[in-house]
Amino acid sequence: MAVKRAGFFTDTSICIGCKACEVACKEWNGLQGNAPNLLLDSLDNTGQLDAQNWRHVKFIEHLPANGNLVNQPADTGGGQAFLMMSDVCKHCQHASCMEVCPTNAIVRTEFDTVYIQQEVCNGCRNCISACPYNVIGFSQATGTAHKCTLCYDRLQSNLTPACAKACPTESIKFGDVEQLQQLADTRLAALHQQGYSKAQLYGRDDKVYGGLNNFFLLMDEPEVYGLPNAANAVLPSRNNLPGYLGGLVTAAVALVAGLIAFRRRGDTPPPSDAAPAPVGVAPLSPADSAEAERP
Amino acid sequence: MLLAEHFVKPPNWTWLILGYFFLAGLSSGCYALGVMLRLWGRPSHGSAARIAFLAAFPLVIVCPILLTVDLGQPTRFWHMLIDSAGGGLNFKYWSPMSLGVWGLGVFSGFAFLSFLGEIWAPVGRLLHSLLGGLLLVVGLVFALFVGAYTGVLLSVSNQPVWSDGWPLGGVFLASGLSGATALLLLLIAARHRSQVAASVGALGEADRYFVVIEAVLIVIFLVTVAAAGTIGRLFNVVGIGLWVLVLVGLTVPLLAHSRSRVLWPVLTSLLVLIGVLALRAAVIFGGQS
């Protein structure tokens, strides 16, 4: 299907944590994955998104003490829930990684997605420190940064990205972002009607990084899923002005300090216990004689 | 109070970047001191200015080497400057890394010119003319930029500590100036030249001013980080040790009078330099802990 603005709508309320998306992503993109690692953390043995994991199913055992995570009768779990979320690059409209990349390796594609050009990236890792979603990973093998391409090669062939294709519950829906937003609004209204009062859309509007091409329906607050809330979804460039202004003021004060120190104490004779000058010392530079003549 | 939320991965900037930040701070500081001593210092500071210019260039030429080796693809270092896809220049003023690479390149040129002026008379005469004075002032601007931008580079991220502390640019600049003063005093001690010893008192006084500026900025930085709720990252076991070294480096110039700096110049200057290095280590590693 041809799309103008490609994205995913991930409905975490119907994610079953099967990890088919992780497998499909690795399969299509030729990612070998990291060495097996027993994290002893729930059902998760992937750990995080990185150069080898462009999809990561999070298992969140956040069980509220008052049991009001979902307003459901006791026979459906009494509010106890195992939150699952298939995490991925958000392909932000205002992308932090793209903002700081010094080589312009990170570009926006014709599908409005954010893409790292492997042949341009030089592995400075500035994007890693900027991405607020812990998405980008550095590969020692290639010496470059990697993340989800939203199956750029499949999009070029009008194919659905591998993860969305493989998702058995259609928790990951692929399509044009505008259509996905309408779908998400309908789904959210249905959940609210069913009593899931905490259900909310994350990244559907422009409050988070100008809107996310890959946005989510969450069953709790964003922080629970390891996502910054709207107040904390800030771009690195916010510190440009205060940072440089701080440097400028410091420079001005330091120059004044130098002016005071070097003018006032300039001709203090050397202490008597300082080492004496060798006899017959030549001027230190070709310009010394000229300096000596200055008033 | 709104605490900052960070879900970001560390970029693994370690020893090479620490070395770069340290040397860039010292080099830019040396150059700035050289210009200050030459342009508005007394004639007797000429020799100290010469040592400053002779030190600035060798220090700065190591910087691009460290930066290049740290890249995952070192042979693509030129992608920082030239758009490998489009062929034009890569200049993103809103990206401190992009701006910094250009700033470092230009500053290196000025540092080289001043270095040349100290070893080759024709260039030396040029730099003592009115045009030379203008060149030194422009070079000073770039030196101060290089001294500050490394801190801004860290701030302009989403990394905990780094992005919580916008005063880092000023902190690193003041720290670099203090370290450069210590380095000059160390080099002066090594030369045993009376005409240079005349500048010891002035440099000692300047260092005390720089240290006070640095201390004030460090306090502001720590307050901003504490307000964001990430200060704990700066004070783990290793971090506490590093901050002790920072404190010693800040205290020594204030306690050591000019006379004692003549008597124990090596010890006092080394302690200051260790403090300058420890500050950068505490910030770089603390933000990634």
Distance from CA of residue A38 to its chain's centroid? 25
Query: From the CA of A52, how many Å to the nearest CA of chain B?
Result: 15
Half-sphere exposure of B83 (CA within 13 A, CB side): 11
- Residue A269 belongs to a domain: no
Q: Is residue A222 part of a domain?
A: yes
Q: pLDDT tens for chain B, 289 residues: list them.
A: 457 888 999 999 999 999 999 999 999 999 999 999 999 888 888 999 999 999 999 999 999 999 999 999 999 999 999 998 888 999 999 999 999 999 999 999 999 999 999 999 999 999 999 999 999 999 999 999 999 999 999 999 999 999 998 999 999 999 999 999 999 999 988 765 566 767 888 998 999 999 999 999 999 999 999 999 999 999 999 999 999 999 999 998 888 765 555 557 788 899 999 999 999 999 999 999 9
A127: its two tokens: 């994007």
pLDDT score at B11: 97
Residues from chain A contacting residue B261 (CB–CB below 8 Å): none
- For B127, phi then psi, to 5°, come to -75, -15
The pLDDT score that the predictor gives to residue B110 is 98
What gap in Å lies between CA A217 and CA A205, rounded to an integer? 12
Which residue in chain A has the smallest CA separation from B100?
A102
Residues A254 and A144 in one domain: no
A residues 207..266 contacting B (CB < 8 A): 223, 226-229, 231-232, 234, 236-237, 239-240, 242-244, 246-251, 253-255, 257-266
CB-closest option in A125, A266, A281 to B41: A266
Regarding whether A246 and A229 lie in a shared domain, the answer is no
- Total beta-carbon pairs less than 8 A apart between chain A and chain B: 304
Quick check: B162 and A129 CB within 8 A? yes
**What is the CB-side half-sphere exposure of residue B20 using CA atoms within 13 A?**
25
Q: Which residue of B has its CA nearest to A246?
A: B170
State whether residue B89 sits within 8 Å of chain A by CB.
no
CATH (domain of A21):
3.30.70.20
Testing the interface with B: which of A239, A245, A249 to mutate, by most B Cβ within 10 A?
Answer: A239
Interatomic CA distance for residues A291 and B17, integer angstroms: 39
Chain B residues whose CB is inside 8 A of the A230 CB are none
Q: Is A81 part of a structural domain of the chain? A: yes
Note whether residue A277 is domain-resident. Answer: no
Residue A153 shares a structural domain with residue A254:
no
Residues A249, A140, single domain; the answer is no
Residues A124 and A246 in one domain: no
β-pairing, A56-60 vs A83-87, is antiparallel
Burial (CB count within 10 angstroms: exposed 0-12, middle 13-18, buried 19+), residue B92: middle
Final residue belonging to a domain, choices A185, A211, A233: A233
Confidence of residue A281 (pLDDT cuts 50, 70, 90): very low
Same structural domain, A106 and A249 = no
Same domain, A154 and A257: no
What range does the domain containing A206 cover?
A: 6-233
Contacts with A288 from chain B: Cβ below 8 Å: 46-47, 50
Look up the ipTM and state it: 0.95
What is the reported pLDDT for A280? 32
Report the candidate in A136, A165, A142 with the shortest Cα–Cα distance to residue A27.
A165
Q: Report residue A143 as tokens.
A: 């010496």
Say if CB B111 and CB B56 are below 8 A apart: yes
Q: What pLDDT does A278 receive?
A: 35
Confirm whether A136 is domain-assigned.
Answer: yes
Q: Largest Cα–Cα distance in chain A?
A: 99
Could you tell me if A44 and A174 lie in one domain?
yes
B255 close to A (CB below 8 A): no
Is residue A55 situated within a structural domain? yes
Q: Reduced to 3 states, what is the DSSP secondary structure of residue A137?
A: strand
What is the arithmetic mean of pLDDT over A126-149? 98
Q: Does residue A39 share a domain with residue A126? A: yes
Residue numbers of B between 110 and 129 with CB closer than 8 Å to A:
117-118, 120-121, 124-125, 127-128
Label residue A270 by pLDDT band (50, 70, 90).
very low
Q: Averaged over A195-211, what is the pLDDT?
A: 95
Q: What separation, in Å, do the N-terminal and C-terminal C-alpha atoms of chain A show? A: 80
Query: Structurally, how many domains does chain A consist of?
Result: 2
Range 136-165 of B in CB contact (< 8 A) with A: 144-145, 147-149, 151-152, 155-159, 162-163
Are both A28 and A73 inside the same structural domain? yes
Alpha carbon separation from A265 to A290, B41, B186, B212 (Å, rounded)? 21, 9, 19, 18
Distance CA(A151)–CA(A111), nearest Å, equals 11
B42 to chain A, any CB pair closer than 8 A? The answer is yes
* Contact residues on chain B for A247, CB-CB shorter than 8 A: 144-145, 147-149, 151-152, 169-170, 173
Q: How far apart are CA B213 and CA B65, in angstroms?
A: 31
Q: Same domain for A84 and A221?
A: yes
* pLDDT at A42 exceeding the cut of 90: no
Cβ of B179 under 8 Å from any chain A Cβ? no
Q: Do B128 and A249 touch (CB under 8 A)?
A: no
Domains of chain B with bracketed CATH:
15-287 (1.20.1630.10)
pLDDT of residue A277: 37
Asked whether residue A290 is domain-assigned, the answer is: no
Does residue A186 sit in the same domain as residue A259?
Answer: no
Distance CA B81, CA B104 (A): 12
User: Residue A294 falls within a domain, yes or no?
Assistant: no
State whether residue A145 is helix, strand or coil: strand
Strands A214-218 and A6-11: parallel
